[in-house]
Amino acid sequence: MKAAWLLPNPVRRLRRLVETRAHLDRPARSDEAGHSKPPAASGPRDVARQTPRNFPSPIPKDPMMPRYHSRRWIVTLGLVAWIAAAFADPSQAQLLKPGQTAQAPEFRGVTQWINSDPLTMAKLRGKVVLVHFWTNGCYNCVNNYGHYKAWQDRYEGKKVVIVGIHSPETPGEREIERIKAQATKHGLIFPIAVDNDSSNWKAWNNRMWPTVYVVDKRGRVRYGWEGELSYKGAPGEEKVRKLVDELLLERP
């Protein structure tokens, strides 16, 4: 070590450069698990030298850059989300603005009918149909049961049919006996279409449990409500009930 100080200054520089190059050219070590480890770096210069040649040189750090890139990513993600929403298929409820209607999809791919023989929208023409999507493990759906039971009593003997389309969210909710038990427990006597393959869910472009649709006597969807009908004082049940009463007065 002492002998190195006796060398002329240019020679010492050359020797230091050779030692540094030899250090960087050593193969990477491996740990006990066989994972490759890069040689230990002695400072920023070593890190820069280990950058692959086909990569651009590191960009000088600017305190304003992270904030700028964050804003740019937020704007980009927001734009992507907006485009996706714009081109996504809207649910039947989304389509239902004042004065607009949509033809109700026909029942399809029903695994089994409960509380009824198989039904079709075509055979239900001339009647007001309340279609609601639900699943027996959904807490929000349970909160709508009271309204469904009230509709059963209110429209008994009238030209109103309630149809529950049971589209499961979890594997356990697909069990037919469990669906029957839940319907019996809560006094749900309306026809239930078990939609284990979600064929009807997709046909309606439905988005959530629960959702209620009102179909007029001509088979047109006239209104839709997504979520609990009376969540925090929401007027969903009242709107549905008043519309059904109005549609009963319409001619087929």
252: confidence class by pLDDT, cuts 50, 70, 90: confident
Predicted pLDDT of residue 65: 41
The pTM of this model reads: 0.64
Both tokens assigned to 78: 């927001």
Kindly report the average pLDDT of the chain as a whole number.
76
Q: Tell me the HSE value of 22 on the side-chain side, using a 13 A CA sphere.
A: 6
Predicted pLDDT of residue 6: 45
Reduced to 3 states, what is the DSSP secondary structure of residue 110? coil
Predicted pLDDT of residue 43: 33
Q: Tens of pLDDT along 140-188? A: 999 999 999 999 999 999 999 999 999 999 999 999 999 999 999 999 9
Q: Tens of pLDDT along 107-138? A: 999 999 999 999 999 999 999 999 999 999 99
Domain 95-249, architecture per CATH: 3-Layer(aba) Sandwich (3.40)
The domain ranges of the chain are 1-24+38-65, 95-249
Reduced to 3 states, what is the DSSP secondary structure of residue 161? strand
- Is residue 213 scored above 60 in pLDDT? yes
Q: Tens of pLDDT along 70-85? A: 556 555 666 655 554 4
Q: What dihedral angle (degrees, nearest 10) is formed by the CA atoms of 25, 30, 31, 35?
A: 120
C-alpha pair distances (Å), 11 with each of 3, 4, 186, 207: 12, 9, 94, 76
213 bridge partner residues:
131, 224
